[in-house]
Amino acid sequence: MRLRLQLLRELVSELGSIGVLINPDNPNAATDPQDLRDAAETINMKLAFLEARTPDEITQAFAGFAAQKLKAVLVNTDPYYLGRRDHLAELAASHSLPAIYSLREHVAAGGLISYGASLSDAYRQAGIYLGRILKGEKLAELPIVQPTKFDLVINLKTAKVLGLKIPDRLLALADDVIE
């Protein structure tokens, strides 16, 4: 989470408070806000949280971020938001709000930038795990597997629409750049 906040800071020169979109129905909503506050405090940032669990609430949240004159938005990790990635990208663009996401799929749909675990790698790991179970290994004896591959993805088309210059350093670090 801290890295996503730092990436936003590099992208937006006059970054004051940033908006955080969070789904209160997601179990992570209980712990993620405090984790984000802790991360923001270490890099001297302020956060404005808005909750959204429906398409209308998402639309209202982005209007709220724009009304508060926030400079950027962090969209919290949520499967519901992944399913509404086109809507999220459209709202971020229509309100001229640079937004960071946790999955590359958001950027492929027109979002600006993402940093997070690779879904394709997670699916591959799940397949390996399932294969071990099907070969007779006991689930209780298998190690806990955590993500090992993280992707930084940047959409230059969206950056151009938002009038942002992506620093060369970030372009060099990116795993994928959409032109």
Name the residue ranges covered by the structural domains of the chain.
2-117+149-178, 118-148
pLDDT of residue 119: 86
Percent residues over pLDDT 90 in the chain: 74
Tokens standing for 115? Answer: 């940093």
Between 46 and 16, the more confident residue is 46
Contact 36, 1 (CB under 8 A): yes
By DSSP bridging, strand 150-155 and strand 113-117 are antiparallel
What angle in degrees, to the nearest 10, is found between the helix axes of 85-94 and 55-67? 20
Q: What is the pLDDT of residues 115-149, one digit of tens each?
A: 999 888 889 999 999 999 999 999 899 998 888 88
pLDDT of residue 170: 94
What are the φ/ψ torsions at residue 171 (nearest 5 degrees)? -60, -40
pTM of the model: 0.89
Superfamily covering domain 2-117+149-178: Response regulator (3.40.50.2300)
